[in-house]
Every structure is written in C-alpha cells, then in structure tokens.
Amino acid sequence: MFPRPPDQDLPRARAILEESLDMFRKVGDDQGVAKVLWGLGNMLHQSGEYAAARAIAEEALEANRRLGDRFGEAWSLWLVGAAALGSGNHVAASERLRTALRMLSAAGDTSGIPIILVELAGAALAAGDLHRAVVLHSAGLAVEESIGTGLGQMTAGRGDLAEMLRRRVPEELAARASAEGARMSLDDAVAYAISEGERANSSRVWRPAG
C-alpha cells in the first residue's frame, strides 16, 4: 500500500471524486465512471479504509472489464489485491496481485511491476513465508531501480513492511534472500512471483546454519 503523503486533503479529494462519479453516471460516460471509481478506491486505500476501498475497486474492475480496458482491469486488480492485503486477507490478495502481474507483464507495462512485487512480499510475510517475502521485497527494489518509475520505491519504502521484515526475519536468512532477489532481472522476478511451483519450493522451513 502507498504511504499517505502528509499534505493530502483526502476528505476533500473524496468529495470531489464522489461528485465526479455522480456526474459521469448522469451523462452515461462509462469510461469516466471506471476511472473515477479507481481513483476513489485508491484514495480510500490511502486513507486506510480497506474494506471500502476493496468494494469500490471491485466496481472499478467490473467497469473496466465491460469496457474491455485491459490496462484499467490490471490496475483495478492490483487495487483489489492491495486492499485485501490491508484487510488481512493475504490469500485473496496474492491471487489478485498475481493475476494483475501476469496482465501487466504480458502487456509490456513495467510501471506497476515493482509495486506488485512489494505487495506480494507483504502477502508472503503475512503467510509466514519469510524467505519469499524478503526475495520479493528485494526484487521489487531491484526492478524499480532498473526501470525508474518511482512507484516501487513509494511502496517499498513504507515503514511498516520494512520494519516487520527487519524484526521477523533472521539475519542469515535476510542476507541470503535479499541477495537472491537483488540478482533477479525483471523477467526472473515476474516468473518467481507468479509461479506456484516456486512459491511451494520457497516455503520451506528455515533453519540457521550449523
């Protein structure tokens, strides 16, 4: 999830978005409705209203599917997954996020890939898969550095995930898994993130050397 910038007036943003949504619906502008729904869901997500964000994101998802807008569909899936993760449902989050990742990768849209990698790291951490969490987090940072959108840094730099990884992951495992993720190319990171086989292999129990 994105950290909330301190200077945002989210109540005013919500009022404007809700007014815009009503106007687009009145004039029958389905594309406008889909875009505003996504914006409203994202704003609710930034506000920490995860259940409301997910409900609106689901509406945006269906609206974009009706329009045949694959870009909007993929980003709506990301938002559904991110909101599910914020609500504590890491299983649903992982499913939606991996689907969004497949779509963005197939379309050659790399802008959202670092964000999804880091969100999937949060889902892996919630599932107790420490190795996978660190690999994905590190890979997200590496991919972000290679493509330079700034979006992955916004997500990866949030204090809660970074601090939880520092607290929960033993140093030996953290160093090894971080190096593994940092070596990944964009294609390698995507394949690791969406592969069920890799996920099963990486869920092994970690034991310290010796």
Top-ranked range on mean pLDDT: pick from 137-141, 152-156, 204-208: 137-141
Tokens matching residue 178 = 């971080």
Say if residues 37 and 21 touch (Cβ distance below 8 Å): yes
Tokens matching residue 157 = 């730099």
Left (φ > 0), alpha (ψ -120 to 50) or beta: where does 100 sit?
A: alpha
CA 108 and chain centroid, separation: 17
pLDDT at residue 152 in the model: 53
3-state secondary structure of 107: helix
pTM of the model: 0.85
CATH of span 7-108: 1.25.40.10
Minimum mean pLDDT range among 3-17, 37-51, 101-115: 3-17
Whether pLDDT at 154 is above 70: no
Top-ranked range on mean pLDDT: pick from 144-148, 158-162, 177-181: 177-181
Distance, in Å, from the CA atom of 50 to the CA atom of 81, rounded to the nearest integer, reads 10
pLDDT at residue 11 in the model: 86
DSSP secondary structure letter of residue 169:
S
Say if residues 21 and 9 touch (Cβ distance below 8 Å): no
CA distances from 109 to 50, 57, 70, 92, 106 (A): 26, 20, 11, 23, 8
Q: Where are the domains of the chain?
A: 7-108, 110-197
Which amino acid, residue 63? A
pLDDT at residue 195 in the model: 86
When pLDDT is cut at 50, 70 and 90, the band that residue 162 belongs to is confident
Minimum mean pLDDT range among 12-21, 126-135, 142-151: 142-151
DSSP secondary structure letter of residue 206:
P
Residue range 94-104: mean pLDDT, rounded: 96
pLDDT at residue 88 in the model: 94
Burial of 68 (0-12, 13-18, 19+ CB in 10 A): exposed
Tokens matching residue 20 = 């815009």
Distance, in Å, from the CA atom of 2 to the CA atom of 69, rounded to the nearest integer, reads 24
DSSP secondary structure letter of residue 205:
P
CA distances from 36 to 16, 44, 59 (A): 10, 12, 11
Residue-wise pLDDT for 11-57, tens only, equals 888 999 999 999 999 999 999 999 999 999 999 998 899 999 999 99
Whether pLDDT at 203 is above 70: no
Q: Work out the number of other CB atoms within 10 angstroms of the CB of residue 86.
A: 19
Better-predicted residue by pLDDT, 124 or 155: 124
Identify how many contiguous H helices and E strands the chain contains and give both numbers: 12, 0
